Amino acid sequence: MWKKGHTPWNKGKKKATNTGRTHFKKGMVPWNTGKKMPRTEARIAYDLRQKGVTKPKPKNFSATMRKVNPPKGRKVYRQKGKPTYVAIYKPEHPNARKKPPDYGYVLEHWYVMSNHIGRPLKTPECIHHLDGNKQNNLIENLVLCKDAKEHNAIHTTMEEFMEELFKLGEIEYDRKTKRFHRRCYC
């Protein structure tokens, strides 16, 4: 095997000689640079089966991510590009969402109304915004309805009121802008 008098290359060195460096010298090119690995049929079939398949996340992934990067502040929901409702992060509130992706968020008007009445909102209850602006969550602008039927009655009353104003000539409809506005008596 070894010739008599041969000195091993690592004589006198510590047992673990790997210091994290490779055996490549600066500027050396690996022998397989630019070469592609041969793909077997089994590997190709596996890749096709895995295409588009996401690896499952651990069961506690969402909880861990919330601890690492907790959500804060306000979240504005949009519908057809326009801002609608505002939600705030209050995970301790009884009306807060219990499932991701909105875990811990409660709609701001629910939060304001529940603080005003001193209890969390019940399931059938809903809130009406008097001025129609769902981002105006001042208590003066909110009406608590016991169910959807009462909420719809408020909308019906508003429509009847608009029709009365239209009949009296207080408001008019602009066909170009497709909006109602006050009649100007200039």
Structural domain spans, the chain: 71-146, 148-186
> What proportion of the chain, given as a percentage, has pLDDT over 90?
33
Q: Answer whether 86's CB lies under 8 Å from 105's CB.
A: no
Confidence of residue 154 (pLDDT cuts 50, 70, 90): very high
* Count of beta carbons in the 10 Å neighbourhood of residue 106: 23
Q: Answer whether 93's CB lies under 8 Å from 106's CB.
A: yes
The mean pLDDT value of the chain amounts to 84
CA angle 113, 115, 117 (to 5 degrees): 70
Confidence of residue 16 (pLDDT cuts 50, 70, 90): low
The pTM of the whole model exceeds 0.75: no
Report the alpha-carbon distance of residue 16 to residue 23 in Å, rounded.
Answer: 15
Select from 167, 128, 95 the least CA-distant residue to 180. Answer: 167
What token pair was written down for 65? 């991510």
Is pLDDT above 90 for 7?
A: no
Q: Answer whether 44's CB lies under 8 Å from 51's CB.
A: no
Select from 109, 118, 106 the least CA-distant residue to 139. Answer: 109
Q: Answer whether 142's CB lies under 8 Å from 109's CB.
A: yes
Q: How far apart, in Å, do the first and last CA atoms of the chain sit?
A: 114
The mean per-residue pLDDT over the stretch 118-140 comes to 93
pLDDT of residue 95: 93
CA angle 20, 26, 29 (to 5 degrees): 100
pLDDT of residue 106: 94
Is pLDDT above 80 for 66?
A: no
Q: Which residues contact 36 (CB under 8 A, 6 or more apart)?
A: none
Is pLDDT above 90 for 180?
A: no
Cα 47 to chain centroid, rounded = 31
